[in-house]
Amino acid sequence: MTRPDVSELATLGLSLSESKQLLAQLQHEIVTRQFEATTQQRRHCGQCGTKRAIKDFHGARFRSLFGDVELRVPRLRKCQCAVDSPVQGSANATLRQRWIAPELECVQSELAAVLPYARSAELLSKLLPIGAGNSASTVRARTLHVGQRLESELTAAPVKPPGRRTPQPHVTTVGLDGGYVRHCDPAAGHSFEIIAGRLLADDGAQSSVGFVRTVDQHSRTRVQRAVAEQGKSSDNLMVFTDGDSRLRDLQLSVLPRATHVLDWYHLTRRLTVLSNVVCSKEAAEQLPSREHARLLWRLWHGRPVTAIARLESLLSRLARPSLAGKAVVARTHKLAAELLQYLKNNAESLPDYGRRYRAGERISTAFVESAVNQIIDKRMSKSQQMRWSPQSAHLLLQVRIRVIDGRLRQDFERWYPGFTANDATLQLSA
């Protein structure tokens, strides 16, 4: 490589396109030589060591982050000793080989988990001499394939926890919440729900779960597996939800011994809407005052019976003939009735929030709210104008949560022996 004299800053050092060219050539050289050496080794019969003859070659294209490399894959004749005692016959193993570098799949999936498919393809092409297999549709297909592989492990035998002797952390808190993304087929509905959750252990570790309820057949196993992966299920495990009855059912079937807590964040959000209406200038002229303040206090102390009684008395006051026909009254009535129903549905899940709060215990799933935002919003949200099929959204979610939890590389290490070795620091040789 020849460089002009440095007269401009822009010509100092390698340019991006030069670096891509260099990397591609280097990769071509390395892959070709490695492959040649391996082929020579393979030619020696495993039984008797005789060098086998080459029948013919077939072409294969090895795809990597550093360009595509054309390979001539030899088909070897059977050794004389195998002809004499014909046993095995899986000479087709190389034919079924997918010639894709695991690192390419891993990096494409990692990017696609956080960026739209087209954007992640663009980014890789910009920086690396990546070959032809980097269109948005290929990146999508590969990412979903990784999701499918993660998914199939869910129903397979559980992965052995490493190091049986080490004390396992306890999972103390699980939070589950839902969010919506746009459906790609308007005929099938405007949007569909994604359940996102986060698990916290007493050693400070966190992990995530995510699934599309309508397509997921294994949500129970999924949550149980997530807990088992994180540590032991603690006896005083708390499960926080927004009070949605189906999430509640899921919790009961998956973690029946856990204590369910209605999330304070979701409760106050409803309360705020109601109190905003009650506090409005319009309402002040027409409504009995201070109801919302008392109500807030009652709920904060986690006394559902009193809170329900308060709401009922508010509702009966609103029903007075003198207040009939006023818009603000109708609105307050509707909100109060909804809140009352919500509280009644979740009466068993209202702790003494004030006591818990003062004791420094968790009362809110703000951590789940952030999980939902992280898992759904940035990559899949409605604001991105993206439309999803429930099935592919579900598979992408599986990749996403592994990336968010920083575990996707571990998954690749499990799938591809030598994946870590390839990540080792460069050994410079003279």
Q: Which residues bind Zn ion (CB under 5 A)?
A: 45, 47-48, 50, 79, 81
Q: C-alpha angle 170/175/176, rounded to 5°?
A: 135
Q: Which is nearer to Zn ion, 16 or 48 (CB)?
A: 48
Q: Least Å distance between CB 39 and Zn ion?
A: 17
Paired tokens of 373: 């935002």
CB 411 within 8 A of CB 105: no
Q: Least Å distance between CB 167 and Zn ion?
A: 52
Q: Least Å distance between CB 81 and Zn ion?
A: 3
The Cα 376–Cα 379 span in angstroms is 6
Q: Least Å distance between CB 54 and Zn ion?
A: 15
The Cα 65–Cα 124 span in angstroms is 8
Name 174's bridge partners. Answer: 199, 239
Q: Least Å distance between CB 74 and Zn ion?
A: 17
The Cα 289–Cα 270 span in angstroms is 19
Q: Least Å distance between CB 48 and Zn ion?
A: 3
Q: Which is nearer to Zn ion, 55 or 290 (CB)?
A: 55
Closest by CA position to 239, among listed 340, 155, 343, 346? 346
Q: Which is nearer to Zn ion, 65 or 79 (CB)?
A: 79
Paired tokens of 64: 């990597």
The Cα 389–Cα 192 span in angstroms is 9
CB 250 within 8 A of CB 176: yes
The Cα 120–Cα 138 span in angstroms is 11
Q: Least Å distance between CB 379 and Zn ion?
A: 54
Number of other CB atoms surrounding residue 263 within 10 Å:
25
Paired tokens of 281: 């200038």
Q: Which is nearer to Zn ion, 81 or 188 (CB)?
A: 81
CB 262 within 8 A of CB 302: no
The Cα 314–Cα 306 span in angstroms is 12
Q: Least Å distance between CB 55 and Zn ion?
A: 15
Closest by CA position to 66, among listed 119, 144, 128, 122? 128
- Cα separations in angstroms, 105 against 95, 110, 118, 119, 242: 20, 8, 15, 16, 37
Q: Which is nearer to Zn ion, 53 or 309 (CB)?
A: 53
Q: Which is nearer to Zn ion, 43 or 301 (CB)?
A: 43
List, as one string, the DSSP characters of 375-406: IIIHHH-GGGT--B-HHHHHHHHHHHHHHHTT
Q: Which is nearer to Zn ion, 48 or 330 (CB)?
A: 48
Q: Least Å distance between CB 93 and Zn ion?
A: 17
Q: Which is nearer to Zn ion, 81 or 309 (CB)?
A: 81
Paired tokens of 78: 């059977």
Q: Which is nearer to Zn ion, 52 or 183 (CB)?
A: 52
The Cα 209–Cα 401 span in angstroms is 6
